[in-house]
Amino acid sequence: MTMFLLPFFAFVSVILILLLVYWVWVHFFDPRNKAKKKRLQAIQNAIHSGGPSLSSAQESALETWLRSRIRTFEQLDKLVQRAHSPLTAVHLMGLMLALFTVVVVIGLVRQTNPLLLLVLAVAIARTPVMWLSRQSNKRRQAFGDKLPETLDYISRAMRAGHSLTSAIGMVGKEFADPLGHEFKIVFDEISFGIPFKDALGRLADRVQSYDLNFFVISIKIQHETGGNLTELLDGLAITLRERVKLRGKIRTLSAEGRASAWVLGSMPFVLAAMLTFINPRYMSALWTTPQGQKLILIGGGLMAVGFFVLNRIIKIKV
């Protein structure tokens, strides 16, 4: 079976390398693409940036084709926005493709087990997505922790005579990232003519925070039914502040489980590194023989199941 899979992986690797070369040429060296970027940059400078994103105008033909053909591309685009990364979805896909290709080529040169090679290539290619997901979660947590203070600020600004839109603009100027950045985008979108409800909905889509969803839904309901908005914001701030306290308590109580996950997860790798340093010949049988590679696959699968179970135990929704 290995004799049939090796030519297949070699063919796939060549195709991926050719696609990667084509993408690099189109994105960085195509004269038409360079001219278009210069024109768009001139437009961006003319409006002094800070306004709504020109991502729809900046989409290349490749981005448009990917967005219309691959649903995952849109998910990657949203992930990049949530993580506030300088990368684009196309750059992210190109990086993942490059990592996958490099791992496959190295594995073919070293004649690694095809199944193990495929698992390693997929795992390493997913590392940029995992890193962006971690950045997105940290950003969302920071957003939720500061949101009660932001609602108090908006409420005080409205009591002082400012409108809700003006108060949101003040939050964008006075607060640090991520709150200031996201609310500034909302204020700029409203200033450029996007309806207020749509701007708030886009904010909820970018951040994807349960606490922010409470704020957005409350504002939309208040716009339809009326009522005292300042009292609504004060009550919502109190509720969200209590949720933040409860999350902190849960995080404290689940600290032991998270520490156990880190210790148990890192122990096999630390032990393997120590044994490799002490006796490389003894450990080399684990990845140079078919039996050892099968053991790596079985152990990796069991560790993945263990991580999933521990994550479900310590992850409590508030």
Give the pLDDT confidence of 276-294 residue by residue, as tens digits: 888 888 888 887 788 887 8
Q: What is the number of residues in the chain? A: 318
> Does residue 14 sit in the same domain as residue 49?
yes
CATH of the domain at 147: 1.20.81
> Does residue 156 sit in the same domain as residue 224?
yes
Report DSSP letters for 218-264, one per residue: HHHHHHHH---HHHHHHHHHHHHHHHHHHHHHHHHHTHHHHHHHHHH
Q: Tell me whether residue 132 is in a domain.
A: no
Q: Of 85, 175, 164, give the one whose Cα is nearest residue 132.
A: 85
DSSP category for residue 193: T
> Does residue 69 sit in the same domain as residue 56?
yes
Task: State which amino acid sits at residue 173.
Answer: K
> Does residue 78 sit in the same domain as residue 91?
yes
pTM beyond 0.85: no
DSSP category for residue 29: I
> Does residue 22 sit in the same domain as residue 120?
yes
List, for the chain, all residue ranges whose pLDDT scores fall below the cut of 70. Answer: 1-13, 23-69, 318
Query: Which tokens is 200 given?
Result: 């708030």
Q: Which domain holds residue 225?
A: 138-253
Structure confidence at residue 178 (pLDDT):
84
> Does residue 212 sit in the same domain as residue 279?
no
> Does residue 76 sit in the same domain as residue 188?
no
Q: Tell me whether residue 146 is in a domain.
A: yes
Domain end residue (candidates: 253, 286, 302):
253
How many domains in the chain?
Answer: 3
Structure confidence at residue 37 (pLDDT):
55
> Does residue 263 sit in the same domain as residue 245?
no
pLDDT digits (tens, 9 = 90+) for 99-119: 888 888 888 887 777 777 888
> Does residue 248 sit in the same domain as residue 152?
yes
> Does residue 121 sit in the same domain as residue 9?
yes
> Does residue 105 sit in the same domain as residue 191?
no
60: left (phi over 0), alpha (psi -120 to 50) or beta: beta
**Which positions ≥6 away from 2 have C-beta within 8 Å?**
113, 114
> Does residue 8 sit in the same domain as residue 56?
yes
Q: Tell me whether residue 131 is in a domain.
A: no
Q: Of 310, 315, 316, 313, give the one whose Cα is nearest residue 265.
A: 310
Structure confidence at residue 65 (pLDDT):
66
Structure confidence at residue 52 (pLDDT):
40
Query: Which tokens is 85 given?
Result: 């990364």
Query: Are the C-beta atoms of 186 and 172 separated by less than 8 Å?
Result: yes
Domain end residue (candidates: 70, 93, 125):
125
Domain end residue (candidates: 67, 100, 125):
125
Q: Tell me whether residue 211 is in a domain.
A: yes
Q: Tell me whether residue 246 is in a domain.
A: yes
Query: Are the C-beta atoms of 184 and 173 separated by less than 8 Å?
Result: yes
Q: Tell me whether residue 8 is in a domain.
A: yes
Structure confidence at residue 57 (pLDDT):
43
Q: Tell me whether residue 287 is in a domain.
A: yes
Distance of CA 154 to the CA centre of its chain: 28
